[in-house]
Amino acid sequence: VTDVVSLLPLVTVAVPAVAIPLIYASRRRPNLREAWTLLAALATLGTVLLLVRAPGTHVSPLGSVAGVDLALRADAAGLLFALLASTLWLVTSVYSVGYVRSLAEHAQTRYFASFAGSVAATMGVAFAADLLTLFVFYELLTLATYPLVVHAGTREARSAGRTYVAYTLGGGVLVLGGVLLVQVLTGTVTFAGGGLAGLATADPTLARVGFALLVAGFGVKTAVMPLHGWLPAAMVAPTPVSGLLHAVAVVKSGVFALGRTVLYVFGPETTWDLGVGLPLAVAAAVTMVLAGVVGLRQDNLKRGLAYSTIGQLSYIALGLALATPVAVFGAFLHLVAHAFMKITLFYVAGVVYVETGEKYVSDMAGVGRRLPVTMAAFGVAAAGLVGFPLVAGFVSKFHLVLGAAASPVPLFVGAYLLGGLLKLLYFWPVVYVAFFGRPRATNGASRHAFAPPHATDGGYERRLSWERPALGGETTPYMLLPVLVTAGGAVALGLVPTLFPFWDLAAAVVSEVFG
C-alpha cells in the first residue's frame, strides 16, 4: 500500500468544522440549522467511505512545527475509527433532533455546534499521523465537548464539567510530556505499524517513563481505574451526548490513542520487552471487574451504563495490552461492536426519559409495556454486551478471549469471562424490571435487585398503569428509528461481521502491526 498525498483526510476533519459557523448563522431557523448538521454528517460519512474505497493510504501534510512534521493520514486504524464515528454521528444527529425538540432544550444552537466541533476533533484524532497531531486534536476534543457536559447549566452540571476538564486536561499534560520524551528518545513521533525502531534500542527506563506518561494520559479518556471518575459524573449531559461522545467518540479516542501508543509507537514486542504490557493488562482487568461490581449498585440507568462503558473500554484496553494478533483484531472489532450496542442502550435511556421522565431503573417497573420496541432493542443490545451469540458482542469478545488464551498470561481469559458474568447480573434487573416489574403504590422500597433505594420524586403513582401504544407510536420516529438502526447494526455485526468494512479494516490493522 502506497501513500497518496490528498486533501481527503483534511476534508473529513474540515467538513464538521465548517458546519459550526453555518449552524450559528442559521440559529434563528432551527430546521435549516439541523439541515446543516445532517448535511455535514452525510458529507463526512461520504468522504470517509471514499477513503475506505480508495486505493492507497491518503495523507494530508499540515506543515511542520518546531521541526516536527504534522500530518493527517487515513490508515486502516484511523479509517475504522472515523467510519464508526461518522456513521454514528449521522444516526445521533437524527436522534438529537428528536431529543432536544421533545424536551424543548435551551441553547440548541450551541448544542449542535459543539457536537459538530467534537466530531471534527474526533476525525482529527482518528487521522492523526503522529503523536503531536494526535495530542492537538485530543485536547481540542476536550474543549469541544465541555459545553455539552455543562449544557444543563445546573450546579451539578458545572461541577461535573470542572471534574471533566480537570481530569482530561490533566491527562493531556501527561500526554504532552510523553510526546516530548518520545521525540527526544527517537527523533520522531510519526506512527509506524509495529512501533518505532528507535524505542527498542533507547534507554529502557526513559522508554518506560514515556510509556507510562502516554498511557496514563490516554488512560484518562479510556477511563481506566482510578482515572475514571469523570465519566459517571459527565452523565449529567443530555443523553445523545452521553451516547455519541461518552460511549463512542471521547472514550474511544482515549482507547484509540492507547492503541496507537502500544501498536504504532512502542510496538507489541517492545511493549512486552520493556515489561510495561503486563501492568497495563492488569490495570485493565482490574478495571473490568471493579466496574462490573460497582455497576451492580447503580440504580440511575445512565450511571449504570457509564460503569458498563468503563468495563467495556477495559475489554479493548486489555486486548491492546496483550498485543497478540487475535487480541488486537478482537480489540478493534470490539471498538465497533461496543459502540453500536452501547449507543443503542443510551438511545433507549433517552427515549425512556423523554417519554416517561424516569431516570432510575427501579422507577421503570413495567415500562416495557409502554415502550415495547424500544425496550426490546435494549434487551438485544444488553444481551450483546453480556456476550450472547448473534449479537456483535459475541464475535468481538470471542476473538478477545481467543487472543488472551494465546497470550503470555492465559489467565486473562478468566477476567473477560468474569466481566461477562457481571454484565449479566447488571443488565438482568433492568430488563426484568422493565418487562415484569409491577409498580407498587408505596414509595421508598427499591425494586432494583442489587441497588439501595433512592429518593423518588413522589410522582410515582400516576405511572401505575402504563399502557401499550399503537405499533411504532411509542415515541417520535426521530428517536425510534435511530434505536432500530443501531440495534439492527449490532445484530448484523453479530450475524455477518465479515460483510462490513470494519472487518477488513481491523484485519488490515493487524497485518500492518504484525507484518
Partner 1 sequence: MNEVLALVPPWVAYLLAIVAVLAASRRVGTAVAVVLTGLTVPWLLTAPAGTTLAVAPFGFEQVLVRVDPFTRPVAALFGFVAAVNVLYGHATGADRWQTAYSLAYMGSGVAAVLAGDWLTLLVAWELLAVTATVLVWQYGGDAVRPAFRYAVYHLVGGTFLVAAVALHYVEAGTFVYDGGFARGLPTTLAIAGVGVNLGFVGLHAWLPETYPRPHVAASVVLAGFTTKVAVYVLARLAPDGSTFVAWMGGAMVLYGVTQAVLQSDMRRLLSYHIISQVGYMVVAVGVGTAAGLAGAFAHLTAHVLYKGLLFMVAGAIVVRTGESSLKRLGGLARRMPVTFVTFLVAALAITGVPGFSGFVSKGLATKAVESAAPELLWWFLVAGSVGTALSFAKFGYYAFVRRAPEPLSVASASPALRVALLVVAVPSVLFGVFPDAFLGAFQGAPASFEPYAASELTKALAATAAGIVGFWLLRGPLARLHPVDVDQVLHPLAAAGATAIAAGAVRAGRTATAASTELTGRLGSLVGEDPVTAESTLHAAMLALAATTAAALLLAAVA
User: Which residues here bind partner 1, judged by CB under 8 A?
Assistant: 62-65, 70, 136, 139-140, 143, 146, 158, 162, 165, 169, 226, 229, 290, 293-294, 296-297, 383, 386, 388-390, 394-395, 398-399, 401-402, 404-406, 410, 413-414, 417, 420-421, 424-425, 428, 432, 436, 449-450, 452, 495-498, 503
Type and span of the H or E element at 288: helix 277-296
Shortest gap between Cβ of 389 and partner 1 (angstroms)?
Answer: 4
DSSP 8-state symbol, 190: B
Residues forming a β-bridge with 300:
360
Instruction: Quickly list DSSP for 370-412.
Output: HSHHHHHHHHHHHHHHHT-TTSHHHHHHHHHHHHHHTSS-TTH
Type and span of the H or E element at 12: helix 8-25
For partner 1, the closer of residues 258 and 510 by Cβ is 510
For partner 1, the closer of residues 101 and 369 by Cβ is 369
Shortest gap between Cβ of 99 and partner 1 (angstroms)?
Answer: 26
Q: Would you state the cell numbers that stand for residue 336, as one nine-digit string? A: 465497533
Shortest gap between Cβ of 38 and partner 1 (angstroms)?
Answer: 26
Residues forming a β-bridge with 290:
none
Residue with cell 482487568: 285
For partner 1, the closer of residues 78 and 420 by Cβ is 420
CA 113 to chain centroid, in Å, comes to 20
CA-to-CA distance for 44 and 91, rounded, in angstroms?
13
For partner 1, the closer of residues 18 and 424 by Cβ is 424
Contacts of 495 (CB under 8 A, 6+ apart): 390
Shortest gap between Cβ of 230 and partner 1 (angstroms)?
Answer: 12
Shortest gap between Cβ of 404 and partner 1 (angstroms)?
Answer: 8
Shortest gap between Cβ of 70 and partner 1 (angstroms)?
Answer: 6
DSSP 8-state symbol, 360: B
For partner 1, the closer of residues 44 and 298 by Cβ is 298
Among 293, 351, 281, residue whose Cα is nearest residue 318 = 281
Shortest gap between Cβ of 427 and partner 1 (angstroms)?
Answer: 11
Residue with cell 481506566: 224
Shortest gap between Cβ of 84 and partner 1 (angstroms)?
Answer: 19
**Cβ atoms < 10 Å from Cβ of 464:** 12
Are 510 and 329 in contact by the 8 Å Cβ rule? The answer is yes
For partner 1, the closer of residues 56 and 153 by Cβ is 153
Shortest gap between Cβ of 383 and partner 1 (angstroms)?
Answer: 7
For partner 1, the closer of residues 243 and 304 by Cβ is 304
Are 102 and 354 in contact by the 8 Å Cβ rule? The answer is yes
For partner 1, the closer of residues 280 and 383 by Cβ is 383
Are 126 and 23 in contact by the 8 Å Cβ rule? The answer is no
Among 293, 288, 292, residue whose Cα is nearest residue 322 = 288
For partner 1, the closer of residues 238 and 387 by Cβ is 387
CA-to-CA distance for 365 and 464, rounded, in angstroms?
9
Instruction: Quickly list DSSP for 101-140.
Output: HHHT-S-HHHHHHHHHHHHHHHHHHHHB-BHHHHHHHHHH
Shortest gap between Cβ of 127 and partner 1 (angstroms)?
Answer: 14
For partner 1, the closer of residues 185 and 493 by Cβ is 493
CA-to-CA distance for 362 and 439, rounded, in angstroms?
9
**Cβ atoms < 10 Å from Cβ of 173:** 12
CA-to-CA distance for 273 and 275, rounded, in angstroms?
5
For partner 1, the closer of residues 45 and 225 by Cβ is 225
Shortest gap between Cβ of 306 and partner 1 (angstroms)?
Answer: 13
